Structures are given as structure tokens and as C-alpha cells.
Chain A
Amino acid sequence: MTTDPQQQQMIREAMKAIAERRPGRSKLVYDKTKRTIVAVTEGTQTPRALNITADDADMFGVATLSSHWLTERWGTLLRDRMIPVRFSSWDGGDALTQLEIGPLPASSLVEGVVVLGSDIPGPAGASLRIALHPGKGPVSEDSTIVAPDGSVHHATAHAQRNGEDHPLDTHFVDLQPDLALRRSSLLETNVLKDKTVLLVGVGTGGGHAAVELAKCGVGRFDLIDADRLTVGNVVRHPGGLSQVGRLKVNVMRDMILDKNPDAQVTIHPFEVTSHNVETIRPLIARADVVICGTDNRPSKLLINRLCIEENKTALYGGAFRRAYGGQVLRVRPKTSPCHECFVAAMPEESTDEEISSQQAADAVAYSDRPVAVEPGLSLDVLPIANMLTKLALMELVADTSSTLRVLKADYAAPWYLWLNRPEPGTRYADWPALSESIDEMTINRWYGIDLARDSDCPVCGDFIATLAASYGLDPKNFGDLAAPPAKE
């Protein structure tokens, strides 16, 4: 692609003249003797040879519109001969993207209009004018749209910037077919679009999992989180600085829709506490899988109990301190250990949690012995988020003939352990170096670990019956407790 400003200007003028079907000062002519295309400009003695390549087509900006949006309004276009449309303006006007295509607008917006025929003037104030010209095929070009009546139209676009006219390429896009095409070979997109994932906590881990699931085509999301995005979050969270201050559920809703515009996302900006049980329970009941990425035990234990009661598979993911590693626990009610079983069986692992916020630090510290906030790196949390996503997908397509079915044996274990580094002071400090190990446990590998259910678990087992029996009691004979003694 040429970078010579003079050549670019000549090409632009010639292309503009061609697009507008009028003679211009510059023309593109094939020069047989030089075996290249030359631009001939009036008043110039010697034609300049231009080494035009396919990339030169990209020297023009692009206006992108949804073909679905336009065909739905075709009747209005036929009646009014024009439809106003707004665009995000990116990169100084190099890319103009119709607002309806995604949920995140640019900081600069452009008013535009689609007109039917080049003789229709656009309304005053419109900076972008896209004219549709009736024609014949081919319909495979990006600038071609087929109307509901089968007629073919080619688009030409012109933007007004700084009092100058700039031709643009027009791209019509068909969102869902284009998105589905890229993922349908591996995933049952028709299945996933009807599946619901409840994400409890959309911080770094839950947020990344949400975006990945949206990319895969999951169609329904419920997001629970009361936190707002802070500057400190930005180095880890999918949300960026431009979204600081927003509720994380709102940030993630927009990011999900930016990847899967047909997704249904419902936000629930509240804390997970026992006071919200009756609000949370129906969300669990309607979910196909629950991902719990909260950073405190009380919320995990509450979600665990509700998921067991509602018979819903749940995934609990978390990083260890400073994200030296992390773990994912998958709980299939009554068939695999629940989170309470895990806590009882693995007390050290279940309390090794990342201190990623002041709230998390306060939860484990006394006010006279503060604990430092020491979040890990995003890149060390992402393996855990990816595992959460993979396990969630496995659950969502479990009853289909998915390509993922071949992974069933690989992901049979309920508990998964990952280490980013052999952290000093932990039981993993002496793990062999990755480069030296042949068959020993090392960093940067997932380990699926079998764990037995606790048949006497207080949540998924027979805790009360077993404990009562150990004291010779029968729960069938339990009654009401006594009232407190009268105060003297």
C-alpha cells in the first residue's frame, strides 16, 4: 500500500470520480508500457506510475452497518427515501460503526443518513451520507445489500470532515451468522444460545469467564455483584479505565453484549447474604450452571447450600494468595463433594485465598493487625477463569453429542489444582523446576484430584441423623426448644 501522500490523494480523487460516475481531474489508466496502473491528472505533463496493490483499497475509511437493521426498515426507506442513523466515530473518522451493532459507543458520534438513490439530499447536519444505488449482482461484496423484495443495492458513502468530502467504503454486516460461523464447528451453538449461566461475582475471574462464555455463544446470563469498578481493578478486570465507577454487573453486561449481541443479560447488583436468599434461589433454579467467583467463604457456603437444595451444578473458582496458583471445585449435587465437604477435607486449601481488595483484607485481619492487599497478576488468574469456563461449557453441552464429549474422562475429577509458581512457605515450595521434571508435579499444569463426598456433610450428607445417632437420639422425636428463662 502506498504511503506517498501525493499518490494517495491522486488515488482518492480518481476513486471518488469513479464512485460518483463523473469525470475528475485524476483518472486511473492502465499503462501497457509500464505494466502498471497510472494516475493521470489534468495539467500534468507526465503520468505518475502508481504501484497499486490490493491493500490500497484499505486506504479509505469504512462505514459499517447492520444489514439486518436496514432490511427491517426497508419499508420506511422506500416510503421516506431516507433513514437517519448514528455512528461511533473511531480513529479520527477512519472507522464509522453503526451504534446498533454494539453496546459500547465511541467518545465521538456522527450523525448519518441512508438514502435511496444518489439524487436524494441528506438532511442538514448529517456528516455521513450512504447512498444506495439499484443494481445487479454480485451480492457477495461487502457494500452490497439485498432488499426484502430481492432487489440488489450497492452503497457508496461519503463523510464530511473539516469541510472536505471523504469517500468511505461501506460494509454491511450480518451479526449472528458471522459470529456463529466462527464457533459452530466446535460448539453446539444452537444448544448454548438457550442455556443460562448464573455468575455470582463478576470480578477478575468471573468477569473473564463471562466474556469467554459469551464468545462461545451462551445466550442467557444472570450476574450478581454489588461492587463498582475501581482504578485498581483495571489491571486485572476485563473492564477498563473508561468504565471506572460503574457497577461491575453493568460493565460485564455491556462486554457480554459486545461479544454476543443476542444474549439476554440480567443484572443483580446486591451482596450475597442470607438476607437475599429468596432473591438468589430463583436465579439458581433457572440456571443451567452456576459459577461462584466470590472472594469470601460465607457467600460460597450460602451458594453451595442453595445449589444443593436446587440440585444445580456449581463451579467454585479462586486464586491462592498473590495468585501463586488457584483451584476450581465442581459440585454436582449428591454425586460429588460439595463445598462444605471440601472445606472439611481440605482446611488449608480452602482458606488459601487471594487478598485482592480491602474488603477481603478486612475479612481476615484484626484492625490492630492489618493484612496487606496483595492481588495477583491478571495473567495468573486467567488460567483459573479459563478452567471455570471450560468446565461450565462441559456442563452446558453434557447432554449433547458435542465435540467436548471426548473430554469427559479428562475432567472427571471434582477438584482442579493449578500452580503459577512454587511459592515459598507453601507445601509446593519444593516442586521441581518445569524444565527438570519428567513425571513429578510442576507449575503450569492442571491436576484433576479426586475427592470423596463426606456422607456426614452438614449440607449434602446426613449430618444431623449421624450426629443424633451418636448420642442415641432420633430426629423424628425432635420438638420445639424451650423458651428462655424469665429474667430476674
Chain B
Amino acid sequence: MWSTEQRNRLYLENEVLHREEFTQFSVYWYKETDTYEASGNTWSNSGKLYTLAIPIPSGFPQARPPMYITYPLPLYAANGNPISRLGVSHDMHTLAPSSSGQVQICHWRDNRWHSGILLHKVFLKGLIWIEAYEQHLATGRPLAEFVSTMKEYA
């Protein structure tokens, strides 16, 4: 059950996304299950399509929301193996994948997350991760080498 504070926060998160010109992303309400998800299709600088999805946890915003790449599925590493097989990886900046094998991007660790971080910033880190991922594909080097500026501090 969501509190009024939570529903207002999510409504505002959606407004911020759109006003910050992240119009490819929105926060949606699944009325039947009374659940929320922020998601959208985005294109990398090279023009490839990706779908990012953030299922909103019931403890949001105190609880950190996970961010998954739901398309392409599976998402392959430069060596041809699904990235989801790596699990929690520093080299690829990933956390535990979803049960269906969707890669979870490490945007903030639990011990760094706080309620003042907006979904707008989370998606921003998702976009940075995608660009770094494509550099990983092009070079075979660990993705972590391309996101050294992706500090966890807000």
C-alpha cells in the first residue's frame, strides 16, 4: 500500500523526467496491481535501441530501486557470453540480474543510496552505462574503465 507521500513523489519524479528532457522515460502506474514502474526506450549515441526499467520497490524512496536493461535480452558481453552470468560484477558495474536474466545496472549501492536521489539521476547513470557498454563491446576492455567518473555520491 502506497502512502500519499509516495504517490506524490512518484508523480513528481515523472514530471522531473519530462521537464529535464528525459522524455523517453516515464513513471507508470499499473492500476490492477497498484504497482509502479519507471521505464522507457532509449537510443545510444550509435543509434542502438535499449529499454531501461526501474520497478519501484514498496519502500521507495528510502529503498533503492533496481534498474534493469530489459532489451536487448539477453545482453551479451564482448566475449559473447550473457552479462547476466557475471552476477554482481565490479568490472561490468552490475548487480544481481533479474530472475529472467535481465542485467541490473549498478547505479548506487545500498549503502550509498538515500531518499534525495531522483529517478532522473538514476536514468542518467543508465545512459552512461549504455555508452560505456558499447565501448566495452568495441574494445573488449572492462566496462568499469569507461565509467570511472560514475561516482556514487549524489
Contact = CB atoms under 8 A, between A and B. Distances in A.
Q: Decide if A and B are genuine partners.
A: yes
Interface of A: 273-275, 277, 296-298, 301-302, 304-305, 340, 343-344, 347, 351, 353, 363-364, 366-369, 457-459, 463-464, 467-468, 471, 473, 475, 478-484
A364 B26 CA distance: 30
Contacts of A471: 15-16, 19
Contact of B16 (A275, A343, A467): A467
7 contacts: A344-B114, A366-B90, A468-B15, A475-B8, A475-B12, A480-B29, A484-B28
B114 to A, nearest CB: 5
Given A464-B9, A468-B15, 10 more contacts: A298-B62, A298-B113, A344-B114, A351-B111, A351-B112, A368-B90, A458-B116, A459-B115, A464-B5, A464-B12
Looking at chain B, what size class is its interface with the partner chain? 35 or more
Nearest to B153: A347
B71 to A, nearest CB: 11
Nearest to A364: B111
A433 B5 CA distance: 49
Contacts of A347: 153-154
A464 to B, nearest CB: 5
Contacts of A481: 10-11, 14, 26-29, 36
B62 A478 contact: no
Contacts of A367: 87-89
Nearest to A475: B8
Contacts of B11: 478-481
Interface in B13-63: 14-16, 19, 26-31, 36-37, 39, 57-59, 61-63
Given A274-B58, A481-B29, A298 B90 contact: no
B111 A297 contact: yes
A479 B91 CA distance: 42
A313 to B, nearest CB: 19
A368 B91 contact: yes
Across chains A and B, which 7 residue pairs bring their CB atoms closest together, nearest first?
A: A274-B59, A366-B90, A458-B115, A484-B28, A481-B29, A369-B90, A301-B62
B111 A482 contact: no
A27 to B, nearest CB: 76
Interface in B52-79: 57-59, 61-64
B145 interface: no
B8 A483 contact: no
A363 B115 contact: no
A458 B12 contact: no
A478 B90 CA distance: 40
A470 to B, nearest CB: 9
A301 B116 contact: no
Contact of A467 (B12, B37, B86): B12
Contacts of A463: 115-116
A468 B10 contact: no
B109 A478 contact: no
Given A458-B116, A464-B5, A473-B15, A483 B29 contact: yes
Contacts of A298: 59, 62-64, 110, 113
Contacts of A457: 116
A275 B86 CA distance: 28
A473 B37 contact: no
A475 B5 CA distance: 10
B114 A483 contact: no
Nearest to A340: B115
B63 A468 contact: no
A366 B88 contact: yes
Contacts of B10: 481
